[in-house]
Amino acid sequence: MAKTGACRFCGQQHMIENSEEMTDPQLEECATLHCECDEAKVYQEAAQRREKAKQRVDELFGEGAGNYSQPEAVISTIKGVIDLVCDKRAKNMTITIRTGLKCRIMQMAKDKIKVVREVSDTNSFEQ
């Protein structure tokens, strides 16, 4: 069964397949992600950047990251920071996860999002 959703920018209607359980905001989001208007294309590119940055977090700090694997609470915090940067509420942030391990998230030129895992192996002795 298909329902229609409207692009949030131009209002153009789009048929959404397999949408019988979707809410109106979900239909609007899906229609916007499939629309060809200029504003929708900008929105789609931003959504792709956000999603790729969150995938990068999973690669750098998720289950497959070996010694750098972090609990879900840390990963969700990092993804929350990505949302802040993508929404232009922050330019960049650094999260110190533990001694010697940091995550830096920053907005680069052309609104690209950069996620960096920083590992420092500093040995020091204090007395």
DSSP summary character for residue 60:
H
Percentage of the residues of the chain whose pLDDT score is greater than 70: 95
Provide the mean pLDDT of the chain: 92
From 59, 48, 42, 3, select the one nearest 26 (Cα to Cα).
3
38 pLDDT band (50/70/90 cuts)? Answer: very high
* Four-residue CA torsion sign, 51, 52, 53, 55: positive
125 pLDDT band (50/70/90 cuts)? Answer: low
Question: Bridge partners of 115?
Answer: 105
pTM: 0.80
CB–CB of 32/7 below 8 Å? Answer: yes
Model pLDDT for residues 19-28, shown as the tens digit of each residue = 889 999 999 9
Q: How many angstroms separate the CA atoms of 31 and 18, rounded?
A: 13
Q: How many angstroms separate the CA atoms of 74 and 33, rounded?
A: 29
The alpha helices in the chain, defined as continuous H runs, are 24-34, 38-61, 72-86
